[in-house]
């Protein structure tokens, strides 16, 4: 398996533009997570899905952020409109469901977002 | 509210030395404590994990020590190598719950 795939790897945009980040989880994984990593706040969970259904979006900063998972192999995180403070590395991760010994999350390589 | 406190923020260790990273938590419902390792430009990857029914878990040069009464756990890296230079995150979750709370990370540098 290729692991979790994220695109784009780097994104530079101007304030006010819409940004869409994409993620393909590992095949067979039931859970998908979106994280944001910054120097100031560390690694923050934004939202996670179970079997394509959003379970907890309490980490989503505000209404400008939205996430979807239309099927088991694809998810998007959208920021509209983007602001400079959204600049961060965004990670997608996936994991197997209950029944496994440890709930290991497999992270993608991340998308480095810069909002000018 | 930060639920997992991690220290130190950065650490420099000589090759062959022992690296120690400490974490403390408040939520007594936490029952799964993983450590993740992150190299520059990469996503975090699970290194080792422990449940609170044991006080120690060892995998190669990496050991987790767990003190349930003190609500603290730590990562020890024995015989530290330059290849161990990375950022390490402790984390915690509860009840088979997939939502994992991460510490703020420790940037480890092992110098030759």
Q: Does residue A101 have a pLDDT over 60?
A: no
Q: Do B96 and A98 touch (CB under 8 A)?
A: yes
Q: Do B99 and A45 touch (CB under 8 A)?
A: yes
Q: Pick the most confident of A72-76, A97-101, B92-96.
A: A72-76
User: What confidence score (pLDDT) does residue B31 get?
Assistant: 87
In whole angstroms, give the CA distance from residue A61 to residue A50: 20
Q: Do A108 and B41 touch (CB under 8 A)?
A: no
In whole angstroms, give the CA distance from residue B44 to residue A109: 9
Lowest-pLDDT choice from A10-24, A96-110, B50-64: A96-110
In whole angstroms, give the CA distance from residue A19 to residue A11: 8
User: What confidence score (pLDDT) does residue B87 get?
Assistant: 96
To test the contact with chain A by mutation, choose from B35, B43, B102 the residue with the greatest count of A C-beta atoms within 10 A, namely B43
Q: Does residue A43 have a pLDDT over 60?
A: yes
Q: Are A45 and A35 in contact (CB under 8 A)?
A: yes
User: What confidence score (pLDDT) does residue A96 get?
Assistant: 87
In whole angstroms, give the CA distance from residue B91 to residue B103: 6
- Locate the chain A residue with the closest alpha carbon to B39: A109
User: What confidence score (pLDDT) does residue B1 get?
Assistant: 46
- Locate the chain B residue with the closest alpha carbon to A5: B43
Give the B-side interface with A, CB within 8 Å: 32, 34, 41-46, 49, 89, 93, 96, 98-105
- State percent of chain A over pLDDT 70: 95
> pLDDT tier at A65 (50, 70, 90 boundaries)?
very high
| Token pair recorded at residue B37 | 């390792």
Query: What average pLDDT score do residues B75-80 get?
Result: 98
> What count of CB pairs under 8 Å joins A to B?
52
- Eight-state DSSP code of residue A22: E
User: What confidence score (pLDDT) does residue B96 get?
Assistant: 63
């Amino acid at each position: 398996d290729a692991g979790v795939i994220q695109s784009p790897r780097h994104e530079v945009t101007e304030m006010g533009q819409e940004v869409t980040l994409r993620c393909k989880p590992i095949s067979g994984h039931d859970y998908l997570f979106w994280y944001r990593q910054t120097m100031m706040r560390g690694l923050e969970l934004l939202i996670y899905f179970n079997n394509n259904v959003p379970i907890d979006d309490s980490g989503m900063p505000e209404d400008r952020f939205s996430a979807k998972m239309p099927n088991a192999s694809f998810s998007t995180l959208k920021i509209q409109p983007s602001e400079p403070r959204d600049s961060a590395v965004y990670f997608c991760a996936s994991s197997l469901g209950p029944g496994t010994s440890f709930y290991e999350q497999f992270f993608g390589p991340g998308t480095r977002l810069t909002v000018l | 509210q930060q639920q997992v406190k991690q220290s130190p923020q950065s650490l420099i260790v000589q090759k062959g030395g022992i690296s120690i990273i400490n974490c403390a938590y408040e939520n007594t419902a936490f029952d799964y404590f993983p450590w993740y390792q992150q190299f520059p430009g990469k996503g975090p990857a699970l290194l080792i994990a422990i449940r609170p029914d044991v006080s120690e878990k060892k995998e190669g040069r990496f050991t987790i020590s767990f003190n349930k009464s003190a609500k603290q756990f730590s990562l020890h890296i024995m015989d530290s190598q330059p290849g161990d230079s990375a950022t390490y995150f402790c984390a915690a979750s509860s009840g088979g719950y997939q939502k994992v709370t991460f510490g703020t990370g420790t940037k480890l540098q092992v110098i030759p």
